[in-house]
Amino acid sequence: MRKSTGSRAFLASGMALTLFLTACSGAGQVGESDDVDLDVSTGVTDDTVVIGTHQPLTGPAAPGYLAVSQGAAAIYEYVNAQGGVNGRQIDYRVEDDVYDPSQTIDVTRQLVIEDEIFAMVGGLGTPTHSGVLDYLNEEGVPDIFPSSGALAWNNPEEHPLTYGWQTDYTKEAKIQGEYIAENFAGQDVGYLYQNDDIGEDSQAGLDQYLSDNVVAREHYESEVTDLSSQIAELENSGAEVVVCSCIPAFVALGMLEAARIGYEPQWVVSSIGGDTTTLQGLLATFTEGSDAEDVPADAFLEDLLITTYMPRVEDENDEWGQFFLAVYDEYGEGDVVTNTHVFGMTQAVMFAQVLKSAGEDLTRQALIDAMETQEWQGPGPVPFSSSDGDHGGHQGVYVVQYQAGGGIEVVQEPRVTDREGGAIEETDFEPLMPEDLPFHD
């Protein structure tokens, strides 16, 4: 298994010029092509299968998301140690795109042309992966489980080879909205959100239940770390509940600013910002040298409500969470396991599961067939869809509340819904446990 930090030499100048010209019309926009041939075994030998991904190994997004590929790599090492999948070792190639869409184009073409990957798995980020969506589909490269909750990944007609994974932002926000309406009835609500598809899609879900209670809508730009005006507006509006559709750094920054001015709303955080171990580290970093340096992270995080769809490492009763801790202890990089690691580990287990179902005669068509007929049985506690007409991935979330000392309490069991005005429903889905789920030999 090889992990690259993006330091590989560029392609020869003639090929680079060709790639530059094909990319000039926009990120990922390549010319029309004939129907792709999926009856191929690109990246597959008798004893290996090569898969690739683009991840922010360096740059501003790395502190929050480097753990995704670290977690996935640990699972693939574990799978390989068990004999691989259908007799093949998984060769996981990770390229650093620095969370820069222009670099995502470069590293994706390297993975497809140089490495001849069998599939792209878990490419991270909406602005980054959007730029290579067309290219991967037109080149016939299965595009499995992009790491983002954007709605774009569930568009089988335009992108038949792309299969979403993360609960999309609108479904998640609908369930958040209903939970708040039921448990904080009559209270004023404020939104704090990232000014892109995260914020737009999240509001579309929240507003189905909370529009009459919203007293403030405050957005932030990911390159501007000063949230003083947004938090002041939320306080001045009288918002008693703040829903933060934010990445981890801005959850931490928002909480610190609220504490600084004595504002104490009930915080509700979506899955993208709800990794409490990551938040503890960020809070410690952001308070260094300040008056709050000696304030424990629990003082900020206690009673935080989080929506999630994966196993949680804080939950001592979650068999998958404990399994992931043990695997990372043996095959990981020695750092503290976070739920961001678990994100990558859960993804990797599910990809290995579908690879197992695709059989020994492995072609891209066999993988796609397995994706669309797979009977998903975990590891997460939420139902999953990758059928012919629905590439939506996880179908809902459950709600947990953080407790002082690092534990969590499940305050609402998993519920599922659609993007539109459909009902939110309880589910009786029960995942198989690690010893029973077929994801390695």
Instruction: State residue 34's pLDDT score.
Output: 52
> Which conformational region is residue 141 in: left (phi greater than 0), alpha (psi within -120 to 50 degrees), or beta?
beta
Indicate if the pLDDT at residue 20 is higher than 60: no
Distance of CA 146 to the CA centre of its chain: 7
pLDDT digits (tens, 9 = 90+) for 362-377: 999 999 999 999 999 9
Dump pLDDT digits (tens) for 299-344: 899 999 999 999 998 888 899 999 999 999 999 998 889 999 999 9
The mean pLDDT value for 415-426 works out to 94
Calculate the alpha carbon distances from 13 to 4, 6, 105, 117 in Å.
21, 18, 16, 22
Read off the pLDDT band of 81 (50, 70, 90): very high
Q: How large is the average pLDDT for residues 195-211? A: 94
Q: Which residues of 122-155 are buried (b: 16+ CB within 10 A; e: fewer)?
A: bbbbbbbbbbbbbbbbbbbbbbbbbbbbbbbbbe
CA 105 – CA 141 distance, rounded (Å) = 14
- Summarize pLDDT for 147-175 with one digit per residue, the tens: 998 889 999 999 999 999 999 999 999 99
Provide the mean pLDDT of the chain: 90
Has residue 15 got a pLDDT over 80?
no
Q: What confidence tier does 116 reach under pLDDT thresholds 50, 70, 90?
A: very high
Per-residue pLDDT, 292: 86
Write down the pLDDT at residue 155.
95
pLDDT at 364: 98
Lowest mean pLDDT: which of 31-45, 201-215, 380-394, 422-436? 31-45
Judged against a pLDDT cut of 60, whether residue 398 lies above it is answered with yes
* Residue 328 token pair: 């990372």
Strand pairing partners for 269?
244, 306
pTM: 0.87
Cβ proximity of 324 and 350 under 8 Å: no
Residues 249-274: pLDDT tens digits? 899 999 999 999 999 999 999 999 99
Predicted local confidence at residue 13, as pLDDT: 29
pLDDT tens per residue, range 378-395 = 999 999 999 999 999 999
Percent of the chain with pLDDT over 70: 92
Could you tell me the domains of the chain?
A: 13-167+325-395 (3.40.50.2300), 169-308 (3.40.50.2300)
DSSP 195: T
pLDDT score of 414 more than 90? yes
The predicted pLDDT at position 1 comes to: 52
